[in-house]
Amino acid sequence: MKKILIAEDDFFIRDIYTKAFVNSGYEVHVATDGIETLDKLRTQPYDMILLDIMMPKMTGIDVLRNLRAPESAAKDTPVYIITNLGQQNIIEEAFKVGMDGYIIKSQVTPQQLVDEINTFFANRESTQQE
């Protein structure tokens, strides 16, 4: 069972994403701000992190910078940015820092998000087997 961390401050969004991933067979953990996200990543590994950009205490980009630091235990963990911000400069910055993909929340249903992550894992596993 894949373990996913959803870092999202909006309760409603966090709840519907959690339900969608649990119903699809994932183990889901949640964090409500940037500091809590980093704390959880220090205590256990995850197969994927869904990271909101606009969160209290620390932005998703700052969390991503911390994750991608050479000394980070989670530096190789895949990260998808989930945001309602479609600004190209923020997306470009997140790619430079090391995100693996991004989803604009208002453009996908929770099930489409799950499908996207399932596809990511399927592609990754087929690449690793080659």
pLDDT more than 90, % of the chain: 57
Residue 83, domain CATH: 3.40.50.2300
Q: How far apart are CA 130 and CA 123, in angstroms?
A: 11
| Angle (CA) 45 49 52, round 5° | 145
**pLDDT (0 to 100) of residue 130:** 61
CB-facing half-sphere around the CA of 127: CA atoms within 13 A: 6
The boundaries of the domain holding residue 14 are: 3-129
**pLDDT (0 to 100) of residue 78:** 94
pLDDT higher than threshold 70 for residue 39? yes
Mean residue pLDDT of the chain comes to: 90
Question: What phi and psi values does residue 115 have, to the nearest 5 degrees?
Answer: -60, -40
Q: How many domains does the chain have?
A: 1
